[in-house]
Amino acid sequence: MKLAPKTNAALAALLAALFLGTPGSFGVAQATSAPAGARICARPNDAVREYAGVIEKTRKEQPELAEALRLFPKGGDLHNHLSGTVPAETYLALAAADGACFGPEGKTGRYTLEGGTSSGGCGDGFSPVSGASPAEREGILQSLSMYRLGYADTQQGHDHFFATFARFRAVSDNVCNTPPMLAEVLRRSHRDGVSYLETMLSFQSSAVNALARQLRQRFPLEASYRDSRQFPAMQRFLLDAGLKDAVAAARTEIAQYVNKTRTLLNCGTPEADGACGVSYAFVSTVNRTSAQGDGTPDLAKVFTQAAFSMQLSSSEPRVVGVNLLSKEDAPVSLTGFQDQMRIFRYFHDAFPGVNIALHAGELTPCFVGGDNPALKEHLTGTLKAGARRIGHGVSFAFLKPEEKSEVAEQIRRNNALVEIMFTSNAQILGVAGAEHPFAQYRVYGVPVAFASDDEGVSHANLTDEWIYGFEKYALTRDDLQYLGRNSLQYSFIPGAPLWADVAQGKPVEACSGDAPGSATPSPRCASFLKQSAKGAAQWEYEARLKEYWHNYGKYFEKR
């Protein structure tokens, strides 16, 4: 079926019921509040097999279509974690070059990486990555990604996915590796037809953590972090304690990353890698699972990370936004959500020009209970905190029709976008196909776009998202074009957008008489494009689309 971008609320409710059935039918016991400990989701993960089957069948039976979808101009990849996008194979190579070591991770049966000792050796039970046998290399790859995971149940996929980040952190947190990591991610983006990338990264972690400890000493009472009247004093304290110095150091760090990445890709030379043509920006991150020793939310750290990230984004053009990330169903995340949103609302008011894109709704009843208010409140609370984009938004599928209407209306009113990531949703949450809210969002008139999330951890690529979406939801040529346009329309590239209405293909008034992407825009439209980096990027995208349809439109004529 063709997914109409808009419809009325009554029809939306009807179609939503058809897509999902009755809410709360996820095959698990219900819970009324956030669990005190980790909830076990023993539901079979059929989603991964279904998802992978669609992609494998398409690649096998329609290889030309799969290749055409790889080449499709995808516009922007707006939800991308730098460390999670780097393939495990690349981490192995970087680890070997670093002199890093591998060894057992407790009794999990998995490997983890750690840095070499000061003498160049390895700690007890660890061995140099450079000397790993083929069997050991295979085990490391499986430990650092979802490669060949058995998916005994949904919980296993969830836990393994999030555990990989700590296992490769000894390599990914080495700032010397950031430029080669970034170069690799840009190469992957280029291969998948991406023209603009926003990638999430933390900066100056040690300095920010030190500031958080000072803040905790100055404001030791937990109640202080729940009283927004205290926030200005906390912000002033951090500024006096050296927050601006940390921001300045981050700006220097970013300039070094950019310059070294250009060198690695030979940008500006006759041997320039095609990845040089992918423009990119950073999104500074805040960790929602920051916890104190007793497991309670470390709100001082969340506040400090938010203060740092907002200050950095307001002063560094290459940091275009701020995101709150990490495991949303963790007890510390569920307990601390309202306080975290209070902190973000404060900084949204203090820095109204800074873009916010938050992970939200990466939840299902299997992990938090079918009537847990978090399924809805993590979506609405995120929007109230100033988010212009929502990452994942899967919990929308498990809301009652009236709740869906309310959430959808709030998203539309905020002119926000939901970032859709089929691969990680299947691997982490066990959600795909009819259970996934992608089609429901479209029915409710909610803007959406595909994104990659953590394709290195997922052992996948962005094209997989498009193949699955195209085949599973019977997308049309117009649908593909709409999704690609949305990715740039809702990007954090500075400037006014080209489209007054993406769904209707209506450009802004200044370019209303022009053919988008033409080589000779009218003087008025040319003036608009000159003043808007976003508009110019969208205009260039339209030119790429026109060429693409000329060369590959035949593969999409049946729809």
SS (H, E, C) 165-207: HHHCHHHHCCHHHHHHHHHHHHHHHHHCCEEEEEEEECCCHHH
pLDDT recorded at residue 558: 78
Q: Which residues contact 321 (CB under 8 A, 6 or more apart)?
A: 198, 283, 284, 313, 354, 355, 356, 357, 492
Please give the average per-residue pLDDT across 344-373, as a whole number.
97
Task: Judge whether 470 and 72 are in contact, CB under 8 Å.
Answer: no
Amino acid at 90: T
Cβ neighbour number for residue 164 with a 10 Å cutoff:
25
Task: Judge whether 156 and 150 are in contact, CB under 8 Å.
Answer: yes
Q: Which two tokens stand for residue 458?
A: 């997922």
Please give the average per-residue pLDDT across 109-126, as a whole number.
92
pLDDT recorded at residue 23: 32
Q: Which of 146, 196, 274 is closest to 539 using CA atoms?
A: 196
SS (H, E, C) 322-363: EEEECCCCCHHHHHHHHHHHHHHHHHHHHCCCCCEEEEECCC
CA gap 359, 101 in Å, rounded: 33
pLDDT recorded at residue 471: 97
Q: Which of 53, 24, 26 is closest to 41 using CA atoms?
A: 26
CA gap 22, 511 in Å, rounded: 45
Largest CA distance in the chain: 70
CA gap 252, 32 in Å, rounded: 48
pLDDT digits (tens, 9 = 90+) for 288-319: 999 999 999 999 999 999 999 999 999 999 99
pLDDT digits (tens, 9 = 90+) for 14-49: 343 333 333 333 333 223 233 344 568 999 999 999
Q: Which residues contact 350 (CB under 8 A, 6 or more apart)?
A: 235, 310
Write the DSSP symbol of residue 223: G
pLDDT recorded at residue 533: 98
Pairing outcome for strands 279-287 and 319-325: parallel
CA angle 497/397/399 to nearest 5° reads 110
CA gap 519, 434 in Å, rounded: 42
pLDDT recorded at residue 38: 57
Q: Which residues contact 336 (CB under 8 A, 6 or more apart)?
A: 288, 297, 299, 302
pLDDT digits (tens, 9 = 90+) for 163-217: 999 999 999 999 999 999 999 999 999 999 999 999 999 999 999 999 999 999 9
Write the DSSP symbol of residue 291: B
Cβ neighbour number for residue 364 with a 10 Å cutoff:
28
CA gap 164, 90 in Å, rounded: 14
Q: Which residues contact 520 (CB under 8 A, 6 or more apart)?
A: none
Q: What percentage of residues in the chain have a pLDDT greater than 90? A: 91
Q: Which residues contact 246 (CB under 8 A, 6 or more apart)?
A: 204, 207, 208, 211, 308
**Average pLDDT value for the chain:** 93
- Global confidence as pTM: 0.92
Amino acid at 99: G
Domains and CATH numbers, the chain: 9-85+174-496 (3.20.20.140), 88-154 (no CATH), 497-559 (no CATH)
